[in-house]
Structure 1
């Protein structure tokens, strides 16, 4: 018979923080029971109030830091404790990097059961602020005024804000301008409980290396009042603005973008570069949000791929072709596969944009397309996988192994699923050799990894 948890809701406890969870919360044990407390730092003794009790863990609100750790830092953002946009400003930046590396090491040992894999120190940023090239900000109403900001942690309560210190400054300016115009023009924000109102989200994308800007107004239905005035005002305020798009999302959903885009002004895409490679970016395009660190990450992929210009490369989750096209500079042939048709259209367009004739993109599930390629005689030297947070589908890992590449380079935004998949690849003859974490998301609990697997030919 399972024992009852040793804590209950609203109970206050004192305990030691021993680690950091993937969401940036401090974690420790109270009478052997796991308790998570946001804003607590590993190495601290804290007093916390239990807010939720689950079967195997509890969540707690930090009440007092009894013994602060030297790594604790004063958050720069005035609304850091209220807003859920980032989770680690209360840690010094060197401590953030150390703890992210520890998170990767713990995942490989505890989840993957793997010993001896080299986990390098995390590559951080010289300036870990103002790095995000994309903002997606919900709009709402409070006290009769339009508000816009990120949600409070674990809720849909909008914390109104004028500036976010991890966003590109142009993102802040554009969101603030739309909020001001929505108030002046009386454009009603969306109320998700009643499912009425118009303006749901504003998405801003900035080409950091080109200066080009796109503004996407996400609306609950086709009607957007004062559309012309809104467009004219934004054009006059932002000389670098290249595109204004209305995205229509009339469903009751937490998904931000709907399926339909309507161009209100300008071009359908903006452009940015990663190294010498140029990319067209549409509202739905997946493009890494930290372009400076994206180049660092992709250079690491290229290093692990060990390209000489003679290799055939497969990118198994190619998206709009960012990794595939970055590697195309040094490969003989590159094949990308992606299940989203619109992303493949973008990838093909980006290949043409860069004059790459040796890159082929196909729509489909990689685990179905890759065996067909093998039958056609396509034998990759290197396979790249860059899956979503849930990691690789088991059938995809089977397809990767079935193609027999010398090297597999795995790009991951989730150390836990990377470690799980590393165990599978290890069992199937691909030894995990080393992992290079890259800090793509400073001031948050997230860490990106690039891992190298080499075929064991013994």
Structure 2
């Protein structure tokens, strides 16, 4: 059995040399990495070893002996403890540099394509208060309803009122709603034995329109004073135009269930993005940072260099945000999406904006694209904006068979992006530069956008 360079519960002084991709400090003892929350490069810290594995360990920071020049004060340490804003202790300029380095790193290590140029990350002027959506658990603590967030790697709720990265109007609304639920003596969900009633408060707010949707996620369908509670909420919060109940009876950490009903008002809100109006329902995917989504999409359109004669395919089309935003610059947009409700929303959004050159269908790209190809549809540009798991290899192969001039790939996960770039390369599609865009300031997440074409 080989001897580890550190032991559990040992206390030692270490120097932090790097940040991990999740934003944890990395220190090394005889080349053995130790990951430490809330520690920054160039810091000398006193640390207690809490976990020792074969290849790396974890430490808890006891004190900072020498501070990093990049450290900034955090108004509430709970933002770090819960992982709401895990990089908020790092100056914003350095956050942007960290995200650029992340992308370079995966290109070198995963894709083995170090020759691709990674541009400087495009940041925000005000990198806080940007989230237009919140999903907040509600629990009973000492007889009182509390909202907040879970301590990292636990099911312990840390009460928080100001979430720093959320639209302040949403933070204020959560407190008002919580007080109304307390007055009506609504029972909070108990995770341990899957009992109680109210699980989460979900709020969406239109960045441009300020219309607000409140979704009360409950364990059971029967909501004793549901309508009365909804009325009380709307009286206190006139911006609220939609109050929904979503039912999730399962013992799971998935937030929403399949069943929903309107308690008051509409079942949607509207917002504007790049001059177009979008209908957003409770489960629609809509970028949580509206102004920065506009920056990302503008960059994507610039890379696409669209012409009036272009046919565009918008794979992973969601409610149509990308395809409808560019429809008036091209000949035709074809979109596809696996979620039926999103396709209905996209069709609705096309009508709403008087766009008649965009068609949306439900289905997997691997099935839809060959059918389109048979119908003689020949795209010049294919846009892809997949979820975190990236693109399926079969999708990339099918899409490349359509031989578009270029792909515009928007990614929210550098690791799966790097893997996908290798598959694109096998199909003879390459990129020479990648643009990171910071859609999630104060967190380790980074979006990238690039254009791929055949060499």
Shorter chain as denominator, the TM-score bin is over 0.9
> Residues 125, 335 of structure 1: CA spacing in aligned structure 2 closer, same or farther, 3 A cutoff?
same
Contact 2:314/2:323 (8 A) holds in 1: yes
Following superposition, the deviation at residue 77 of structure 1 comes to: 2.9
Contact 1:88/1:445 (8 A) holds in 2: yes
TM-superposition CA deviations, 1:229-280 (whole Å, max 9, x none) = 3112111111111100000111111110110110011011100011111100
> Residues 337, 28 of structure 1: CA spacing in aligned structure 2 closer, same or farther, 3 A cutoff?
farther
**Which secondary structure state, in structure 2, belongs to the residue aligned with residue 369 of structure 1?**
helix
Structure 2 match to 1:77: 76
TM-superposition CA deviations, 1:87-115 (whole Å, max 9, x none) = 01111111111111111111111111102
State how 1:371-450 maps to structure 2 within 5 Å. 371-450=370-449
2:66 matches 1:67: yes
Following superposition, the deviation at residue 8 of structure 1 comes to: 4.0
Structure 2 match to 1:192: 191
Following superposition, the deviation at residue 357 of structure 1 comes to: 1.3
Q: Equivalents in 1 of 2:305, 2:326: separation in Å? A: 10
2:161 matches 1:162: yes
Q: Equivalents in 1 of 2:4, 2:355: separation in Å? A: 59
TM-superposition CA deviations, 1:377-431 (whole Å, max 9, x none) = 1111111111111111111111122111111111111111111111221232111
Contact 1:433/1:454 (8 A) holds in 2: no
**Which secondary structure state, in structure 2, belongs to the residue aligned with residue 80 of structure 1?**
helix
Q: Equivalents in 1 of 2:56, 2:330: separation in Å? A: 48
Name structure 2 gaps, 5 residues minimum.
Answer: none
Contact 1:216/1:283 (8 A) holds in 2: yes
Structure 2 match to 1:39: 38
State how 1:47-62 maps to structure 2 within 5 Å. 47-62=46-61
Contact 1:47/1:62 (8 A) holds in 2: yes
TM-superposition CA deviations, 1:278-326 (whole Å, max 9, x none) = 1000000010000010000000110111102211111111111111111
> Residues 76, 193 of structure 1: CA spacing in aligned structure 2 closer, same or farther, 3 A cutoff?
same
Following superposition, the deviation at residue 148 of structure 1 comes to: 0.7
> Residues 67, 278 of structure 1: CA spacing in aligned structure 2 closer, same or farther, 3 A cutoff?
same
Contact 1:316/1:384 (8 A) holds in 2: yes
Q: Equivalents in 2 of 1:395, 1:14: separation in Å? A: 50
TM-superposition CA deviations, 1:182-240 (whole Å, max 9, x none) = 22221000001110111100001000101100000000011223323311211111111
> Residues 225, 21 of structure 1: CA spacing in aligned structure 2 closer, same or farther, 3 A cutoff?
farther
Structure 2 match to 1:336: 335
Contact 2:80/2:88 (8 A) holds in 1: no
Name structure 1 gaps, 5 residues minimum.
Answer: none
Bigger Cα displacement from structure 2, 239-248 vs 54-63: 54-63
2:117 matches 1:100: no
**Which secondary structure state, in structure 2, belongs to the residue aligned with residue 178 of structure 1?**
helix
Q: How many residues align?
A: 455
2:140 matches 1:146: no
Q: Equivalents in 2 of 1:12, 1:389: separation in Å? A: 37
Structure 2 match to 1:21: 20
Following superposition, the deviation at residue 84 of structure 1 comes to: 2.1
Contact 1:85/1:151 (8 A) holds in 2: no
Contact 2:80/2:87 (8 A) holds in 1: no
Q: Equivalents in 1 of 2:201, 2:267: separation in Å? A: 16
Bigger Cα displacement from structure 2, 302-311 vs 70-79: 70-79
**Which secondary structure state, in structure 2, belongs to the residue aligned with residue 17 of structure 1?**
strand
Contact 2:104/2:114 (8 A) holds in 1: no
2:322 matches 1:315: no
Contact 2:227/2:264 (8 A) holds in 1: no
Bigger Cα displacement from structure 2, 393-402 vs 258-267: 393-402
TM-score normalised by the chain length of structure 2: 0.96
Bigger Cα displacement from structure 2, 155-164 vs 265-274: 155-164
Bigger Cα displacement from structure 2, 252-261 vs 361-370: 361-370
Q: Equivalents in 2 of 1:174, 1:202: separation in Å? A: 10
Following superposition, the deviation at residue 120 of structure 1 comes to: 0.8
> Residues 169, 423 of structure 1: CA spacing in aligned structure 2 closer, same or farther, 3 A cutoff?
same
Contact 1:405/1:455 (8 A) holds in 2: no
Following superposition, the deviation at residue 55 of structure 1 comes to: 4.1
Bigger Cα displacement from structure 2, 146-155 vs 55-64: 55-64
Tell me how large the CA RMSD over aligned residues is: 1.6
Contact 1:15/1:45 (8 A) holds in 2: yes
Following superposition, the deviation at residue 15 of structure 1 comes to: 3.2
Q: Equivalents in 1 of 2:114, 2:428: separation in Å? A: 16
